[in-house]
Amino acid sequence: MKYAYILLSVLLAACSHPTPKSNAIIPEKAIDTSKYVVFKFDTARDIHLFRKVNNPADLSSSEIDKIEGIIAKKAAEYNKNEEAFADSIDKKFNRKEPANATPYDNLIHHPEKYYKQFLAITNDKGEKEVWVSCFCDPSNKPYWKKDWVWVLDGGSCYFQIKINLTTNTVTGFYVNGVA
């Protein structure tokens, strides 16, 4: 009986002390600077990208992950519309490609593999807006981490997207043309 009281006392003592909860903050992962660059707003360089700028803003890696999801969804929508348009033209003009022809392809393949330049601001409503310039290959653009990559034509290897990150809406989407 004596041992039962000792065992019961030990169990009650162990149960009466709550386990301390961790208040540790999980650190934000670093932004992959081999694929991404986040520019700080520069009035002389960037004023034409937004109607009205309230304040420059920063981006976290979790926000970049969110942007990547929005881009993937918009690229899939663009590809679907582009394929439907090409099919309608083929049908309308009864067009048939020769067997050895390279098919026209202005689709965005694997947008997650594109290199991206980001610029974030807070608009006058307090919402975060982001301009993203996306391109396939930085090898002929060694300046891409210091200045915007602007090209004429280039097709779907170059596209830009403007996102309201607060409302999760795309407010602009532009794919370069093919010369």
Alpha carbon distance 64, 97 (integer Å): 40
Over the stretch 60-117, which tens digit does the pLDDT of each residue have?
999 999 999 999 999 999 999 988 887 787 777 776 766 666 666 889 999 999 999 9
- Res 60: pLDDT: 94
pLDDT at 26: 56
Q: What is the DSSP string of 137-160?
A: --TT-TTTTTS----S--GGGEEE
Question: Per the structure, how many domains does the chain have?
Answer: 1
Residue 150 pLDDT exceeds 50 = yes
Residue-wise pLDDT for 5-51, tens only, equals: 454 454 445 555 454 454 555 566 777 888 999 999 988 888 888 87
User: Residue 36's pLDDT is what?
Assistant: 95
Whether 98 is in a domain gets the answer no
Does 27 map to a domain?
no
Is 117 contained in some domain? yes
158 is a domain residue: yes
Q: Is residue 20 part of a domain?
A: no
Does a structural domain hold residue 74?
yes
Give the pLDDT score at 163: 98
**Domain annotation covers residue 121:** yes
Classify residue 123: in a domain, yes or no: yes
**pLDDT at residue 148 above 50?**
yes
Q: What is the domain extent for residue 136?
A: 32-92+106-175
Nearest to 176 by CA among 164, 161, 158: 158
